[in-house]
A and B are shown apart, each in its own frame.
Chain A
Amino acid sequence: MWPRLGEGGRRRERDGSLSPLEDVMADGYILRDPRALVGALLEAGWRVIAPLERDGSLTPEVVSAPDELPCGLVDMQAPGAYRLQQQDSGRWFDAVVGAQGWKRWLHPAERRLWTARRDADGFSIAPAAEVWPPTVFFGVRPCDLAAIARQAEVFRQAGDPAYGERLAATRIVAVNCTRVAETCFCASMGTGPGVSAVVDVALTELEQGLLVDCGTANGAALLRGMDLATAAPADIAAARAAVEAAARDQIRAMPPDIADRLQRASESPRWQEIAARCLHCANCTLVCPTCFCTDVTDRSDLAGDHAERWQRWDSCFSPEFSYLHGGAVRRSVAARYRQWITHKLSTWHDQFGTSGCTGCGRCITWCPVGIDLVAEARAFAEEEA
């Protein structure tokens, strides 16, 4: 689970050995200023998407100039609370995750699936013409890398290719976390705070700059031509220590046996107690980087000659979500909260072989009444113990 730091330019093979990439790189480099890399990527024609400050939060947005990268921001997160603060630290990656992750790009909130038009045959259907420019996701946190992998698996299993096609045309520059928010619990989910998957490029912020770790040939291509200083062994050790400290700093931890516990908690009176607080506003599902549920809506023009089918994010917290003619299956808020948390922490394992939770903490921060997923999970675990 620990980050592969200092293995720059080479890929860790299944047998544990390191294999050289096409252009042999040293065991790590120091990048003084991330704007230099973003600038080079923009110049090379990449669409760069990075967390930018929007409406008081960090949101992955298209970068048009390197100076848009925020510097010195720190996020204060707590149940039901989020504040970005500007500091003079000169550090680039102290603010961890904002409300929205990368799902808004890979699994858009609203998407036209196809259009249909009346014709002599009855009607004809035209696929939506979506193109995805060569893209770099810049600044992906380990929890969000895990979220991307988990959503990709949902659509892979379903045979819906769009998500995988977008991802395949995307390069990833990840950032290891050296600071955590109060709501982070990735260490207990095994998804962070260091990158454990093979990733094109991973950055770790140090005093003297960013340690650059390259995991793939694609990553090497992104870095080609950059002015990079070779990292010293001490830099690599410092990076490792900073990430390890970020794991220790986490005050929340998911109970390890929560999947089994929830299987047996379907009739617990605790659901009613949570429902009394839950506003079923669906914020948690909207900010969750793995929540994938969608609805479809049909639109047609007034003449009735042109019709479109749109897919958009939906939430299991809405009463219509489980609607069958005659009424909703999950009428009570208690049943809907139970569905959400049980799917996320338990049945996701049965469906996809992993937890549906990555420990990013967004659902805790963005819950307007501060319902704490980890605290609720612990309460279920202890209730049964």
Chain B
Amino acid sequence: MDIQSIQDLLTEHPILGRFDTASRELLVGCARNHHFGAGEMIQTEGDPADLVHVLRKGDVAIEIAAAHLAPVIVETVHGGDILGWGWLIPPYRTMYDARALTEVSCVSLDAACLRGKCDDNPMLGYQMFKYWLPHLAARFRAQRLQVVDLYGEGRD
């Protein structure tokens, strides 16, 4: 797949598509296409967070496993979402397991490359803040609702 098509794929993405063109072009240099088969691990807790996945198609389970628990899926993310935030926060480690539930297509950005470009181009850093943060905030808000155990009581 050529450089031009990665640019197109990012433009089509609901979050990356909102970046200004110049910033998006900077991302292309850090990006490559990626595919995962259903059931394949995309990332594992504790590993270096050297990639951030801009999800195009497919469903991904975020899992937490503990010795006494079977792995629990705490959230699923989907085409249009962005997977991973450990890449931005030192010491840049992956925080949760992520497993492809279906065939997954994504554009993966190299974390070190991305951090470097942000350092060199504050405008890119600002675009990340402006468009990626709301996505994180929406997921954070949803997790809070989940904590409430909405369906604990039924209708009588």
- Which residues of chain A have a CB within 8 Å of any CB of chain B? 324-326
Contacts and interface: CB of A to CB of B under 8 A. Distances in A.
Nearest to A327: B153
Nearest to A326: B153
B156 interface: yes
A160 B119 CA distance: 75
5 contacts: A324-B156, A325-B153, A325-B156, A326-B152, A326-B153
Contacts of B156: 324-325
A136 to B, nearest CB: 46
Nearest to B155: A325
Contacts of B152: 326
A326 B153 CA distance: 7
A326 B149 CA distance: 13
A76 B152 CA distance: 54
- The majority secondary structure among interface residues of chain B is loop
The 5 closest A-B pairs by CB, nearest first: A326-B153, A325-B156, A325-B153, A324-B156, A326-B152
Nearest to B153: A326
A324 to B, nearest CB: 8
Contacts of B153: 325-326
Interface size class of B (residues with CB under 8 A): under 10
Nearest to B156: A325
A326 B156 CA distance: 11
A234 to B, nearest CB: 67
Interface string B119-152: 0000000000000000000000000000000001
A325 B152 CA distance: 11
A291 B3 CA distance: 76
Nearest to B152: A326
Interface string B22-36: 000000000000000
Contacts of A324: 156
B47 to A, nearest CB: 42
A112 B120 CA distance: 82
B151 to A, nearest CB: 12
A326 B155 CA distance: 11
A324 B153 CA distance: 10
A325 B151 CA distance: 13
A75 B156 CA distance: 49
A272 B88 CA distance: 47
A216 B152 CA distance: 60
A326 B152 CA distance: 9
A62 B152 CA distance: 53
Contacts of A325: 153, 156
Interface string B6-40: 00000000000000000000000000000000000
B149 to A, nearest CB: 11
Interface in B28-72: none
Interface in B95-121: none
A87 B124 CA distance: 92
A325 B153 CA distance: 8
Contacts of A326: 152-153
B150 to A, nearest CB: 12
A219 to B, nearest CB: 50
A328 to B, nearest CB: 13
A327 to B, nearest CB: 9
A321 to B, nearest CB: 17
A82 B142 CA distance: 57
Nearest to B154: A325
A324 B152 CA distance: 13
A8 B152 CA distance: 67
B73 to A, nearest CB: 27
A323 to B, nearest CB: 11
A258 to B, nearest CB: 36
A245 B82 CA distance: 79
A325 B156 CA distance: 8
A324 B154 CA distance: 10
B82 to A, nearest CB: 37
A324 B156 CA distance: 9
B155 to A, nearest CB: 9
